[in-house]
Amino acid sequence: MKYKMLIFWVFILLPLLSTTYPQDLSTVLNNYQIKNNISKLRKLTSLRYSGIRSSTEELSFNVIICNGKYRFETKIDDKEYIELFDGSQGYVINPFSDKNNVQELEISSLDFIQMSESSDLEGYLVDPKKKGIRIEYLGKTRIEDKSLYKLKIITKERNIIYYYVGTDDFLIWQKDYLVSLPDTYVTVSIHEYSLINGIYYPCYLETRKNNKLLNIIHINEININIDCDDSLFSL
């Protein structure tokens, strides 16, 4: 009798468990987490990295991420330019602004979308449902002769990002951001990764808006699980 009851519950529960994600999407998410050493990824508490951002000029920058918050800082003509995400709202502190130096960002703006995304140290491909994120599997595609899985990410603010994940290495090689302006998209191409403590971090990125190059980022130093002051993420 107990055996029959067990068989009954297996047939009832198995379809429910298997429909958590479509099989193809589950494969991508599971292999992405294996590639990035999920046990170490979950232990990340903070991250600091620095590098050079090149556009019309080269600028040194620092980024600190801690407890779901994000801070970017650089200096332009000896004046500090800062981008902040405090866990719910994004701000830009621009000393060259004609208005108040502090600008609160719209949740559909590119800066908000990227800061909110970057503040998640695990990334959107880890426990997406718990974070209010929906992911759709869009099949395979190719970019520059590289085979990629295409995923549609819908954030809790209902912003849309497309991730392109390598079919052989399960690393993210490109992201397309849809912003609120009509017919406007921003592409971030990732060309190199650094492996630190079993986790892969992008270290060379190119950003294009409607196929026009905006900037190139070289990350030359990455430190994990650093001490950070919460005051860094407040105005």
pLDDT digits (tens, 9 = 90+) for 158-206: 999 999 999 999 999 999 999 876 668 899 999 999 999 999 999 999 9
N- to C-terminal Cα distance for the chain? 65
In tens, the pLDDT along 90-143 reads: 999 998 887 678 999 999 999 999 999 999 999 999 999 999 999 999 999 999
Exposure string of 79-88, with b = 16+ CB inside 10 Å and e = fewer, is eebbbbbbee
Higher-scoring residue by pLDDT: 226, 13: 226
Q: Is it the case that residue 2 has pLDDT exceeding 60?
A: no
Residue 185 parent element (H or E): strand 185-196
Distance CA 185, CA 65 (A): 25
Say what the pTM is.
0.88
Please give the backbone phi and psi of residue 71, each rounded to the nearest 5 degrees, phi first.
Answer: -140, 125
State how far Cα 15 lies from the chain centre: 31
List the chain domain ranges. Answer: 23-227
% of the chain with per-residue pLDDT over 70: 89
Give the model's pLDDT for residue 56: 83
CATH second-level architecture of 23-227?
Answer: Clam (2.50)
Q: Is it the case that residue 48 has pLDDT exceeding 50?
A: yes
Cα dihedral 72, 166, 129, 121, rounded to 10, equals: -30
Nearest CA to 65 out of 55, 50, 53 is that of 50
Q: Is it the case that residue 3 has pLDDT exceeding 60?
A: no
Give the model's pLDDT for residue 97: 80
Give the model's pLDDT for residue 182: 62
Which residues make beta-bridge pairs with 116?
A: none
Give the model's pLDDT for residue 211: 87
Give the model's pLDDT for residue 63: 98
Band (210; pLDDT cuts 50, 70, 90)? confident
Is residue 191 a contact partner of residue 205, using CB atoms and an 8 Å limit? yes
Q: Is it the case that residue 15 has pLDDT exceeding 80?
A: no
3-class DSSP assignment, residue 32: helix
Give the model's pLDDT for residue 93: 94
User: Mean per-residue pLDDT for 6-17?
Assistant: 41
Distance CA 136, CA 118 (A): 20
The overall average pLDDT reported for the chain is 89
In tens, the pLDDT along 82-92 reads: 999 999 999 99
Distance CA 60, CA 74 (A): 6
